[in-house]
Structure 1
Amino acid sequence: MGIGEVAALLGAGMAAGTINTVVGSGTLITFPTLLAFGYTPLVANVTNTVGLVPGSASGIHGYRAEIAQFRGGGRYRLARLVAASTTGGTLGALLLFLLPAKAFKAIVPVLIGLALVLIVVQPRLSKRIAARRAAREGADGAEGAPGGVRQGGWGTVLAVFGTGLYGGYFGAAQGVLLMAILGLTYGDGMQVLNGVKNVLACVVNAIAAVVFIIVGAFGLGGSEHPSIQWGAALAIAVGALVGGKIGASVGRRLPPKALRALIIVVGLVAIGSMVL
Protein backbone atom coordinates (compact mmCIF):
# COMPACT_ATOMS: atom_id res chain seq x y z
CA MET A 1 0.00 0.00 0.00
CA GLY A 2 1.28 3.43 -0.97
CA ILE A 3 0.90 6.62 1.05
CA GLY A 4 -1.82 7.86 -1.31
CA GLU A 5 -3.89 4.71 -0.82
CA VAL A 6 -3.49 4.84 2.96
CA ALA A 7 -4.53 8.51 3.03
CA ALA A 8 -7.55 7.86 0.80
CA LEU A 9 -8.72 4.92 2.93
CA LEU A 10 -8.22 6.91 6.15
CA GLY A 11 -10.34 9.73 4.71
CA ALA A 12 -12.99 7.35 3.41
CA GLY A 13 -13.10 5.58 6.76
CA MET A 14 -13.53 8.88 8.60
CA ALA A 15 -16.35 9.95 6.27
CA ALA A 16 -18.04 6.55 6.56
CA GLY A 17 -17.75 6.52 10.36
CA THR A 18 -19.36 9.95 10.54
CA ILE A 19 -22.14 9.07 8.10
CA ASN A 20 -22.89 5.71 9.75
CA THR A 21 -23.31 7.34 13.14
CA VAL A 22 -25.62 10.04 11.80
CA VAL A 23 -27.80 8.03 9.40
CA GLY A 24 -26.07 4.95 7.94
CA SER A 25 -24.84 4.07 4.42
CA GLY A 26 -21.15 4.88 5.03
CA THR A 27 -20.33 1.70 3.10
CA LEU A 28 -21.20 3.65 -0.05
CA ILE A 29 -18.05 5.69 0.62
CA THR A 30 -15.53 3.02 1.63
CA PHE A 31 -16.63 0.21 -0.70
CA PRO A 32 -16.16 2.23 -3.93
CA THR A 33 -12.85 3.55 -2.59
CA LEU A 34 -11.58 -0.01 -2.21
CA LEU A 35 -12.81 -0.87 -5.70
CA ALA A 36 -10.96 2.16 -7.07
CA PHE A 37 -7.68 0.77 -5.74
CA GLY A 38 -8.20 -2.52 -7.56
CA TYR A 39 -9.69 -4.75 -4.87
CA THR A 40 -12.22 -7.27 -6.14
CA PRO A 41 -15.82 -6.74 -4.97
CA LEU A 42 -15.70 -9.68 -2.55
CA VAL A 43 -12.38 -8.65 -1.04
CA ALA A 44 -13.61 -5.06 -0.78
CA ASN A 45 -16.77 -6.21 1.00
CA VAL A 46 -15.13 -8.33 3.69
CA THR A 47 -12.30 -5.82 4.21
CA ASN A 48 -14.77 -2.96 4.46
CA THR A 49 -16.98 -4.78 6.97
CA VAL A 50 -14.06 -5.48 9.30
CA GLY A 51 -12.71 -1.95 8.95
CA LEU A 52 -15.98 -0.23 9.87
CA VAL A 53 -16.56 -2.07 13.16
CA PRO A 54 -14.49 0.35 15.33
CA GLY A 55 -16.42 3.30 13.90
CA SER A 56 -19.73 1.68 14.85
CA ALA A 57 -18.44 1.05 18.37
CA SER A 58 -17.33 4.68 18.59
CA GLY A 59 -20.81 5.83 17.58
CA ILE A 60 -22.36 3.65 20.31
CA HIS A 61 -20.16 5.31 22.91
CA GLY A 62 -21.25 8.74 21.73
CA TYR A 63 -24.93 7.78 22.00
CA ARG A 64 -24.67 5.89 25.31
CA ALA A 65 -27.10 8.21 27.13
CA GLU A 66 -29.81 7.75 24.47
CA ILE A 67 -29.24 3.98 24.42
CA ALA A 68 -29.64 3.82 28.20
CA GLN A 69 -32.91 5.73 27.87
CA PHE A 70 -34.23 3.15 25.39
CA ARG A 71 -33.19 0.25 27.62
CA GLY A 72 -35.07 1.86 30.49
CA GLY A 73 -38.33 1.62 28.52
CA GLY A 74 -38.88 -2.08 29.20
CA ARG A 75 -37.24 -5.33 30.17
CA TYR A 76 -35.44 -7.13 27.33
CA ARG A 77 -36.49 -4.31 25.01
CA LEU A 78 -33.09 -3.88 23.42
CA ALA A 79 -31.90 -7.45 24.03
CA ARG A 80 -34.39 -9.07 21.66
CA LEU A 81 -33.51 -6.63 18.89
CA VAL A 82 -29.82 -7.39 19.41
CA ALA A 83 -30.59 -11.11 19.25
CA ALA A 84 -32.44 -10.62 15.95
CA SER A 85 -29.56 -8.60 14.50
CA THR A 86 -27.01 -11.18 15.65
CA THR A 87 -28.90 -14.05 14.04
CA GLY A 88 -29.58 -12.16 10.82
CA GLY A 89 -26.02 -10.85 10.55
CA THR A 90 -24.55 -14.33 11.04
CA LEU A 91 -26.75 -15.88 8.37
CA GLY A 92 -26.12 -12.99 5.97
CA ALA A 93 -22.35 -13.33 6.35
CA LEU A 94 -22.53 -17.09 5.79
CA LEU A 95 -24.70 -16.50 2.72
CA LEU A 96 -21.82 -14.52 1.23
CA PHE A 97 -19.76 -17.71 1.15
CA LEU A 98 -22.56 -20.12 0.30
CA LEU A 99 -23.48 -18.28 -2.90
CA PRO A 100 -21.08 -18.27 -5.87
CA ALA A 101 -18.70 -15.33 -6.08
CA LYS A 102 -20.27 -14.28 -9.39
CA ALA A 103 -23.62 -13.94 -7.60
CA PHE A 104 -22.19 -11.23 -5.34
CA LYS A 105 -20.98 -9.19 -8.29
CA ALA A 106 -24.42 -9.46 -9.88
CA ILE A 107 -26.43 -8.75 -6.72
CA VAL A 108 -24.45 -5.88 -5.18
CA PRO A 109 -25.16 -3.26 -7.89
CA VAL A 110 -28.86 -3.93 -7.29
CA LEU A 111 -28.39 -3.58 -3.53
CA ILE A 112 -26.46 -0.33 -3.98
CA GLY A 113 -29.26 0.94 -6.21
CA LEU A 114 -31.80 0.04 -3.51
CA ALA A 115 -29.66 1.84 -0.95
CA LEU A 116 -29.56 4.98 -3.10
CA VAL A 117 -33.35 4.92 -3.50
CA LEU A 118 -33.71 4.64 0.28
CA ILE A 119 -31.41 7.61 0.78
CA VAL A 120 -33.43 9.71 -1.68
CA VAL A 121 -36.79 8.87 -0.05
CA GLN A 122 -35.46 8.99 3.53
CA PRO A 123 -36.53 12.63 4.22
CA ARG A 124 -40.08 11.96 3.05
CA LEU A 125 -40.14 8.68 4.97
CA SER A 126 -38.99 10.45 8.14
CA LYS A 127 -41.79 13.02 7.76
CA ARG A 128 -44.38 10.28 7.41
CA ILE A 129 -43.02 8.48 10.46
CA ALA A 130 -43.16 11.70 12.48
CA ALA A 131 -46.72 12.41 11.29
CA ARG A 132 -47.88 8.89 12.22
CA ARG A 133 -46.29 9.23 15.64
CA ALA A 134 -47.95 12.60 16.24
CA ALA A 135 -51.34 11.27 15.13
CA ARG A 136 -51.03 8.18 17.34
CA GLU A 137 -49.95 10.22 20.37
CA GLY A 138 -52.84 12.61 19.78
CA ALA A 139 -55.30 9.73 19.64
CA ASP A 140 -53.88 8.24 22.82
CA GLY A 141 -54.25 11.57 24.58
CA ALA A 142 -57.83 11.99 23.38
CA GLU A 143 -58.74 8.56 24.68
CA GLY A 144 -57.08 9.21 27.97
CA ALA A 145 -54.73 6.33 27.48
CA PRO A 146 -52.11 5.90 30.15
CA GLY A 147 -48.59 7.01 29.31
CA GLY A 148 -46.05 4.48 28.20
CA VAL A 149 -43.64 3.55 25.48
CA ARG A 150 -44.59 1.23 22.64
CA GLN A 151 -42.55 -1.94 22.70
CA GLY A 152 -42.66 -3.16 19.11
CA GLY A 153 -43.99 -6.64 18.38
CA TRP A 154 -42.65 -9.74 16.70
CA GLY A 155 -43.10 -8.06 13.34
CA THR A 156 -40.45 -5.54 14.41
CA VAL A 157 -38.13 -8.34 15.52
CA LEU A 158 -38.54 -10.11 12.17
CA ALA A 159 -37.92 -6.88 10.27
CA VAL A 160 -34.73 -6.26 12.27
CA PHE A 161 -33.68 -9.86 11.56
CA GLY A 162 -34.21 -9.25 7.82
CA THR A 163 -32.15 -6.06 7.98
CA GLY A 164 -29.40 -8.01 9.76
CA LEU A 165 -29.49 -10.63 7.00
CA TYR A 166 -29.06 -7.89 4.42
CA GLY A 167 -26.35 -6.14 6.46
CA GLY A 168 -24.34 -9.32 6.99
CA TYR A 169 -24.27 -9.89 3.23
CA PHE A 170 -23.71 -6.28 2.17
CA GLY A 171 -24.35 -3.50 4.67
CA ALA A 172 -24.96 -0.34 2.62
CA ALA A 173 -27.90 1.69 4.00
CA GLN A 174 -28.88 -0.85 6.65
CA GLY A 175 -28.97 2.14 9.02
CA VAL A 176 -31.64 3.81 6.87
CA LEU A 177 -33.71 0.61 6.95
CA LEU A 178 -33.33 0.30 10.72
CA MET A 179 -34.40 3.90 11.32
CA ALA A 180 -37.54 3.32 9.25
CA ILE A 181 -38.40 0.14 11.17
CA LEU A 182 -37.71 1.62 14.60
CA GLY A 183 -39.46 4.90 13.83
CA LEU A 184 -42.63 3.12 12.74
CA THR A 185 -42.82 0.79 15.73
CA TYR A 186 -41.38 2.65 18.74
CA GLY A 187 -42.51 5.92 20.26
CA ASP A 188 -39.10 7.16 21.41
CA GLY A 189 -37.45 10.29 20.04
CA MET A 190 -35.41 10.07 16.86
CA GLN A 191 -32.09 10.63 18.64
CA VAL A 192 -32.85 7.74 21.00
CA LEU A 193 -33.74 5.51 18.05
CA ASN A 194 -30.59 6.64 16.24
CA GLY A 195 -28.58 5.36 19.21
CA VAL A 196 -30.39 2.02 19.01
CA LYS A 197 -29.74 1.92 15.26
CA ASN A 198 -26.02 2.33 15.95
CA VAL A 199 -26.10 -0.62 18.36
CA LEU A 200 -27.88 -2.93 15.91
CA ALA A 201 -25.73 -1.94 12.93
CA CYS A 202 -22.59 -2.46 15.02
CA VAL A 203 -23.79 -5.92 16.08
CA VAL A 204 -24.36 -6.92 12.45
CA ASN A 205 -20.99 -5.58 11.31
CA ALA A 206 -19.16 -7.18 14.23
CA ILE A 207 -20.71 -10.64 13.85
CA ALA A 208 -20.17 -10.55 10.07
CA ALA A 209 -16.54 -9.52 10.66
CA VAL A 210 -16.05 -12.49 13.02
CA VAL A 211 -17.46 -14.85 10.38
CA PHE A 212 -15.22 -13.35 7.69
CA ILE A 213 -12.13 -13.62 9.90
CA ILE A 214 -12.83 -17.26 10.78
CA VAL A 215 -13.56 -18.21 7.17
CA GLY A 216 -10.40 -16.44 6.00
CA ALA A 217 -8.20 -17.91 8.75
CA PHE A 218 -9.22 -21.49 8.02
CA GLY A 219 -9.61 -21.13 4.25
CA LEU A 220 -13.24 -22.25 4.42
CA GLY A 221 -14.36 -19.97 1.62
CA GLY A 222 -12.21 -21.55 -1.04
CA SER A 223 -10.32 -19.74 -3.78
CA GLU A 224 -13.40 -17.78 -4.86
CA HIS A 225 -13.53 -15.92 -1.55
CA PRO A 226 -10.15 -14.30 -0.74
CA SER A 227 -9.39 -13.25 2.81
CA ILE A 228 -9.42 -9.81 4.41
CA GLN A 229 -6.76 -7.30 3.35
CA TRP A 230 -5.63 -6.23 6.80
CA GLY A 231 -3.65 -3.15 5.80
CA ALA A 232 -6.66 -1.61 4.09
CA ALA A 233 -8.98 -2.71 6.91
CA LEU A 234 -6.72 -1.05 9.50
CA ALA A 235 -6.63 2.23 7.56
CA ILE A 236 -10.44 2.27 7.31
CA ALA A 237 -10.74 1.30 11.00
CA VAL A 238 -8.58 4.20 12.21
CA GLY A 239 -10.52 6.67 10.07
CA ALA A 240 -13.88 5.21 11.07
CA LEU A 241 -12.98 5.38 14.77
CA VAL A 242 -12.40 9.10 14.46
CA GLY A 243 -15.44 9.54 12.22
CA GLY A 244 -17.69 7.79 14.74
CA LYS A 245 -16.71 10.36 17.35
CA ILE A 246 -17.31 13.20 14.92
CA GLY A 247 -20.71 11.82 13.96
CA ALA A 248 -21.81 11.51 17.59
CA SER A 249 -20.75 15.06 18.45
CA VAL A 250 -20.95 17.37 15.44
CA GLY A 251 -22.16 15.14 12.62
CA ARG A 252 -25.79 16.00 13.31
CA ARG A 253 -25.06 19.51 12.05
CA LEU A 254 -24.05 18.36 8.56
CA PRO A 255 -26.38 19.67 5.82
CA PRO A 256 -28.60 16.64 5.05
CA LYS A 257 -29.02 17.51 1.37
CA ALA A 258 -25.27 17.81 0.80
CA LEU A 259 -24.64 14.55 2.63
CA ARG A 260 -27.24 12.67 0.59
CA ALA A 261 -25.94 14.15 -2.65
CA LEU A 262 -22.40 13.01 -1.87
CA ILE A 263 -23.53 9.47 -1.04
CA ILE A 264 -25.64 9.24 -4.21
CA VAL A 265 -22.75 10.35 -6.44
CA VAL A 266 -20.33 7.89 -4.84
CA GLY A 267 -22.92 5.10 -5.02
CA LEU A 268 -23.50 5.69 -8.73
CA VAL A 269 -19.74 5.57 -9.31
CA ALA A 270 -19.65 2.24 -7.44
CA ILE A 271 -22.41 0.81 -9.62
CA GLY A 272 -20.61 1.96 -12.74
CA SER A 273 -17.32 0.43 -11.62
CA MET A 274 -18.98 -2.95 -11.12
CA VAL A 275 -21.16 -3.19 -14.22
CA LEU A 276 -18.90 -1.57 -16.83
Structure 2
Amino acid sequence: MTGWELAVVCGVGVIAGAINAVVGSGSLITFPTLVALGVDPVVANVSNTVGLVPGSFTAAYGYRAELRGQRDRLLRLGMASALGALIGGILLLFLDPAVFEVVVVALIALACVLVMVQPRLNIWMAARRDRPHPHGGPMLWLGVLGAGIYGGYFGAAQGVLLIGLLGIFLDDGLQRVNAAKNVLALLVNGVAAVLFLFVADIDWQAAAGVALGAIVGGFAGARLGRRIPAPILRGVIVCVGIVAIIVLVYG
Protein backbone atom coordinates (compact mmCIF):
# COMPACT_ATOMS: atom_id res chain seq x y z
CA MET A 1 0.00 0.00 0.00
CA THR A 2 1.47 3.34 -1.10
CA GLY A 3 1.60 6.46 1.03
CA TRP A 4 -1.28 8.03 -0.89
CA GLU A 5 -3.40 4.90 -0.52
CA LEU A 6 -2.71 4.83 3.22
CA ALA A 7 -3.75 8.50 3.44
CA VAL A 8 -7.02 7.66 1.67
CA VAL A 9 -7.66 4.81 4.10
CA CYS A 10 -7.01 7.13 7.07
CA GLY A 11 -9.38 9.70 5.60
CA VAL A 12 -12.25 7.27 5.14
CA GLY A 13 -11.44 5.91 8.61
CA VAL A 14 -12.18 9.36 10.07
CA ILE A 15 -15.53 9.48 8.28
CA ALA A 16 -16.39 5.91 9.25
CA GLY A 17 -15.48 6.49 12.89
CA ALA A 18 -17.73 9.55 13.05
CA ILE A 19 -20.64 7.74 11.36
CA ASN A 20 -20.27 4.77 13.71
CA ALA A 21 -20.41 7.05 16.74
CA VAL A 22 -23.59 8.79 15.60
CA VAL A 23 -25.38 5.93 13.84
CA GLY A 24 -23.28 2.92 12.93
CA SER A 25 -22.64 2.16 9.26
CA GLY A 26 -19.03 3.19 8.82
CA SER A 27 -18.05 -0.12 7.25
CA LEU A 28 -20.08 0.83 4.18
CA ILE A 29 -17.32 3.37 3.51
CA THR A 30 -14.14 1.66 4.69
CA PHE A 31 -14.83 -1.85 3.35
CA PRO A 32 -15.47 -0.84 -0.30
CA THR A 33 -12.45 1.49 -0.16
CA LEU A 34 -10.14 -1.33 0.91
CA VAL A 35 -11.51 -3.60 -1.81
CA ALA A 36 -11.09 -0.83 -4.41
CA LEU A 37 -7.44 -0.51 -3.35
CA GLY A 38 -6.87 -4.17 -4.18
CA VAL A 39 -7.34 -5.86 -0.80
CA ASP A 40 -9.02 -9.28 -0.98
CA PRO A 41 -12.69 -8.91 0.13
CA VAL A 42 -12.46 -11.36 3.05
CA VAL A 43 -9.12 -9.89 4.17
CA ALA A 44 -10.61 -6.39 3.78
CA ASN A 45 -13.59 -7.33 5.95
CA VAL A 46 -11.34 -8.76 8.65
CA SER A 47 -8.85 -5.87 8.52
CA ASN A 48 -11.68 -3.35 8.62
CA THR A 49 -13.15 -4.94 11.74
CA VAL A 50 -9.77 -4.90 13.48
CA GLY A 51 -9.15 -1.30 12.45
CA LEU A 52 -12.50 -0.01 13.69
CA VAL A 53 -12.00 -1.22 17.27
CA PRO A 54 -10.05 1.87 18.47
CA GLY A 55 -12.68 4.14 16.92
CA SER A 56 -15.44 2.21 18.69
CA PHE A 57 -13.61 2.83 21.96
CA THR A 58 -13.29 6.59 21.43
CA ALA A 59 -16.97 6.78 20.42
CA ALA A 60 -18.03 4.96 23.58
CA TYR A 61 -15.75 7.17 25.68
CA GLY A 62 -17.26 10.27 24.09
CA TYR A 63 -20.69 9.15 25.35
CA ARG A 64 -19.48 8.41 28.89
CA ALA A 65 -21.93 10.90 30.44
CA GLU A 66 -24.89 9.10 28.85
CA LEU A 67 -23.54 5.74 30.02
CA ARG A 68 -23.98 6.55 33.72
CA GLY A 69 -26.40 4.15 35.37
CA GLN A 70 -26.26 1.61 32.53
CA ARG A 71 -23.60 -0.71 33.94
CA ASP A 72 -25.85 -3.66 34.87
CA ARG A 73 -27.77 -3.37 31.63
CA LEU A 74 -24.60 -3.40 29.55
CA LEU A 75 -23.11 -6.32 31.45
CA ARG A 76 -26.16 -8.42 30.59
CA LEU A 77 -26.47 -7.30 27.00
CA GLY A 78 -22.70 -7.31 26.54
CA MET A 79 -22.64 -11.07 27.03
CA ALA A 80 -25.07 -11.43 24.14
CA SER A 81 -22.97 -9.11 21.94
CA ALA A 82 -19.74 -10.97 22.73
CA LEU A 83 -21.25 -14.39 22.09
CA GLY A 84 -22.89 -13.19 18.89
CA ALA A 85 -19.64 -11.66 17.63
CA LEU A 86 -17.81 -14.95 18.18
CA ILE A 87 -20.46 -16.87 16.25
CA GLY A 88 -20.53 -14.28 13.46
CA GLY A 89 -16.75 -14.24 13.12
CA ILE A 90 -16.69 -18.02 12.75
CA LEU A 91 -19.47 -17.87 10.15
CA LEU A 92 -17.45 -15.31 8.16
CA LEU A 93 -14.60 -17.76 7.86
CA PHE A 94 -16.71 -20.73 6.76
CA LEU A 95 -19.92 -19.56 5.06
CA ASP A 96 -20.57 -18.23 1.56
CA PRO A 97 -21.21 -14.46 1.91
CA ALA A 98 -24.32 -14.81 -0.27
CA VAL A 99 -26.02 -16.77 2.51
CA PHE A 100 -26.74 -13.64 4.55
CA GLU A 101 -27.49 -11.15 1.76
CA VAL A 102 -31.29 -11.33 1.86
CA VAL A 103 -31.43 -11.61 5.66
CA VAL A 104 -29.12 -8.63 6.17
CA VAL A 105 -31.19 -6.34 3.95
CA ALA A 106 -34.40 -7.44 5.69
CA LEU A 107 -32.89 -6.80 9.12
CA ILE A 108 -31.74 -3.29 8.24
CA ALA A 109 -35.15 -2.47 6.75
CA LEU A 110 -36.85 -3.73 9.92
CA ALA A 111 -34.48 -1.66 12.06
CA CYS A 112 -35.35 1.49 10.10
CA VAL A 113 -39.05 0.86 10.64
CA LEU A 114 -38.48 0.29 14.36
CA VAL A 115 -36.54 3.54 14.67
CA MET A 116 -39.30 5.49 12.90
CA VAL A 117 -42.18 4.09 14.95
CA GLN A 118 -40.26 3.84 18.23
CA PRO A 119 -42.01 6.75 20.08
CA ARG A 120 -45.51 5.46 19.35
CA LEU A 121 -44.53 1.84 19.93
CA ASN A 122 -42.98 2.73 23.28
CA ILE A 123 -46.27 4.33 24.38
CA TRP A 124 -48.22 1.28 23.20
CA MET A 125 -45.90 -1.15 24.99
CA ALA A 126 -45.82 0.91 28.20
CA ALA A 127 -49.62 0.83 28.37
CA ARG A 128 -49.60 -2.97 28.21
CA ARG A 129 -46.96 -3.85 30.80
CA ASP A 130 -46.96 -3.37 34.53
CA ARG A 131 -43.46 -1.90 34.62
CA PRO A 132 -40.63 -1.59 32.08
CA HIS A 133 -37.87 -4.16 32.33
CA PRO A 134 -34.63 -2.23 33.11
CA HIS A 135 -32.60 -4.55 30.89
CA GLY A 136 -35.13 -5.10 28.11
CA GLY A 137 -36.01 -8.70 28.99
CA PRO A 138 -35.12 -11.94 27.18
CA MET A 139 -36.41 -10.77 23.79
CA LEU A 140 -33.94 -7.87 23.73
CA TRP A 141 -31.12 -10.19 24.83
CA LEU A 142 -31.86 -12.51 21.92
CA GLY A 143 -32.13 -9.57 19.55
CA VAL A 144 -28.74 -8.22 20.67
CA LEU A 145 -27.32 -11.73 20.22
CA GLY A 146 -28.58 -11.73 16.63
CA ALA A 147 -27.16 -8.25 16.01
CA GLY A 148 -23.84 -9.46 17.40
CA ILE A 149 -23.81 -12.41 15.00
CA TYR A 150 -24.44 -10.03 12.11
CA GLY A 151 -21.81 -7.60 13.42
CA GLY A 152 -19.17 -10.29 13.74
CA TYR A 153 -20.00 -11.53 10.25
CA PHE A 154 -19.97 -8.19 8.43
CA GLY A 155 -20.83 -5.27 10.70
CA ALA A 156 -22.11 -2.59 8.32
CA ALA A 157 -25.23 -0.97 9.81
CA GLN A 158 -25.13 -3.07 12.98
CA GLY A 159 -25.59 0.23 14.82
CA VAL A 160 -28.92 0.78 13.06
CA LEU A 161 -30.04 -2.68 14.17
CA LEU A 162 -28.94 -2.09 17.75
CA ILE A 163 -30.59 1.33 18.04
CA GLY A 164 -33.82 -0.10 16.68
CA LEU A 165 -33.79 -2.94 19.20
CA LEU A 166 -32.65 -0.94 22.22
CA GLY A 167 -35.02 1.90 21.48
CA ILE A 168 -38.03 -0.40 21.43
CA PHE A 169 -37.30 -2.56 24.47
CA LEU A 170 -35.70 0.01 26.79
CA ASP A 171 -37.58 2.82 28.47
CA ASP A 172 -34.83 5.38 27.92
CA GLY A 173 -33.87 8.41 25.83
CA LEU A 174 -32.39 8.07 22.37
CA GLN A 175 -29.02 9.55 23.35
CA ARG A 176 -28.61 7.02 26.18
CA VAL A 177 -29.66 4.27 23.78
CA ASN A 178 -27.03 5.50 21.33
CA ALA A 179 -24.40 5.44 24.08
CA ALA A 180 -25.30 1.82 24.91
CA LYS A 181 -25.15 1.00 21.20
CA ASN A 182 -21.57 2.27 21.01
CA VAL A 183 -20.48 0.05 23.91
CA LEU A 184 -22.15 -3.03 22.43
CA ALA A 185 -20.64 -2.31 18.99
CA LEU A 186 -17.23 -1.99 20.67
CA LEU A 187 -17.69 -5.42 22.23
CA VAL A 188 -18.73 -6.96 18.91
CA ASN A 189 -15.81 -5.47 16.99
CA GLY A 190 -13.37 -6.27 19.80
CA VAL A 191 -14.35 -9.93 20.18
CA ALA A 192 -14.39 -10.47 16.41
CA ALA A 193 -10.99 -8.75 16.11
CA VAL A 194 -9.45 -11.01 18.78
CA LEU A 195 -10.78 -14.06 16.94
CA PHE A 196 -9.38 -12.83 13.63
CA LEU A 197 -5.95 -12.25 15.19
CA PHE A 198 -5.64 -15.99 15.67
CA VAL A 199 -7.42 -17.52 12.68
CA ALA A 200 -7.55 -15.01 9.80
CA ASP A 201 -5.25 -13.10 7.47
CA ILE A 202 -5.03 -9.39 8.29
CA ASP A 203 -3.64 -6.60 6.13
CA TRP A 204 -1.97 -4.67 8.94
CA GLN A 205 -1.33 -1.57 6.86
CA ALA A 206 -5.02 -1.34 6.00
CA ALA A 207 -6.06 -2.05 9.60
CA ALA A 208 -3.66 0.59 10.93
CA GLY A 209 -4.89 3.20 8.47
CA VAL A 210 -8.53 2.58 9.38
CA ALA A 211 -7.65 2.63 13.09
CA LEU A 212 -5.80 5.95 12.96
CA GLY A 213 -8.69 7.63 11.20
CA ALA A 214 -11.41 5.95 13.26
CA ILE A 215 -9.87 7.12 16.54
CA VAL A 216 -10.26 10.75 15.49
CA GLY A 217 -13.62 10.20 13.84
CA GLY A 218 -15.07 8.27 16.77
CA PHE A 219 -14.33 11.02 19.26
CA ALA A 220 -15.48 13.81 16.93
CA GLY A 221 -18.64 11.91 16.01
CA ALA A 222 -19.51 11.38 19.67
CA ARG A 223 -19.19 15.12 20.38
CA LEU A 224 -21.45 15.89 17.42
CA GLY A 225 -23.96 13.12 18.03
CA ARG A 226 -24.57 14.12 21.65
CA ARG A 227 -25.77 17.55 20.45
CA ILE A 228 -28.24 16.32 17.82
CA PRO A 229 -31.91 16.53 18.93
CA ALA A 230 -33.64 13.15 19.09
CA PRO A 231 -36.02 13.71 16.12
CA ILE A 232 -33.15 14.76 13.85
CA LEU A 233 -30.97 11.90 15.06
CA ARG A 234 -33.82 9.52 14.34
CA GLY A 235 -34.05 10.86 10.79
CA VAL A 236 -30.29 10.51 10.30
CA ILE A 237 -30.43 6.89 11.47
CA VAL A 238 -33.23 6.04 9.03
CA CYS A 239 -31.46 7.77 6.12
CA VAL A 240 -28.24 5.88 6.81
CA GLY A 241 -30.20 2.63 7.02
CA ILE A 242 -31.80 3.28 3.63
CA VAL A 243 -28.40 4.05 2.10
CA ALA A 244 -27.07 0.82 3.60
CA ILE A 245 -29.87 -1.16 1.95
CA ILE A 246 -29.24 0.48 -1.42
CA VAL A 247 -25.49 -0.20 -1.23
CA LEU A 248 -26.00 -3.82 -0.19
CA VAL A 249 -28.60 -4.51 -2.90
CA TYR A 250 -27.12 -2.58 -5.80
CA GLY A 251 -23.48 -2.07 -4.78
Fold in common (TM above 0.5): yes
Shift of 1:115: 6.8
The corresponding residue for 1:250 is 224
Deviation at 1:260, TM superposition (A): 6.7
Amino acid aligned to 2:224:
V
Q: Verify the 8 A CA contact 2:157 2:241 in the aligned structure 1.
A: no
Give the aligned partner of residue 235 of structure 1. Answer: 209
Which one of 122, 132, 135 corresponds to residue 121 of structure 2?
132
Q: How many Å apart are 1:130 and its aligned residue?
A: 1.0
Which residue of 86, 89, 95 maps to 1:93? 89
Residue 43 of structure 2: aligned partner: 43
Q: Deviations over 1:225-247 (max 9, x none)?
A: xx100001101001000010111
Q: Pairwise mapping of residues 34-113 of structure 1 onto structure 2 (< 5 A)?
A: 34-71=34-71, 76-99=72-95, 103-104=96-97, 106-107=98-99, 110=102, 113=105
Match of 1:221 in 2: none
In the alignment, the residues of structure 1 paired with residue 142 and residue 249 of structure 2 have an alpha-carbon distance, to the nearest angstrom, of: 29
Q: TM-score normalised to the size of structure 2?
A: 0.86
Structure 1 residues 131, 258: closer, same or farther in 2, change over 3 A? closer
- In the alignment, which residue of structure 2 is the partner of 1:189? 173
TM-score of the two chains, using structure 1 as the length reference: 0.79
1:62–1:264 CA distance, 2 compared to 1 (3 A): same
- Residue in structure 2 matching 1:172, options 156, 179, 188: 156
> Measured at CA, do residues 8 and 253 of structure 1 come closer, stay the same or move farther in structure 2, by a change above 3 Å?
farther
Q: Against the structure 1 CA distance between its residues 33 and 268, is the aligned structure 2 distance closer, same or farther, given a 3 Å change threshold?
A: farther
Residue type at the aligned position of 1:17: G
Q: Which has the larger radius of gyration?
A: 1
Aligned residues of 1:150 and 1:185 also touching (Cα < 8 A): no
Cα contact 2:49–2:192 (8 A) shared by 1: yes
Q: What value does the CA root-mean-square deviation take over the aligned residues?
A: 2.9
Percent sequence identity is 46
Once residues 57 and 267 of structure 1 are traced to their aligned partners in structure 2, the CA distance between those partners, rounded to angstroms, is 26
Q: Secondary structure at the match of 2:117?
A: helix
Structure 2 unpaired stretches of 5+: none
The offset of 1:150, in angstroms, is: 3.5
**Structure 1, unpaired ranges of 5+:** 217-226
Alignment partners' CA distance in 1, 2:237 and 2:82: 29
8 Å CA contact retained: 1:29, 1:267: no
Which letter does structure 1 place at the counterpart of 2:34? L
What one-letter code is carried by the residue in structure 1 that aligns with 2:56?
S
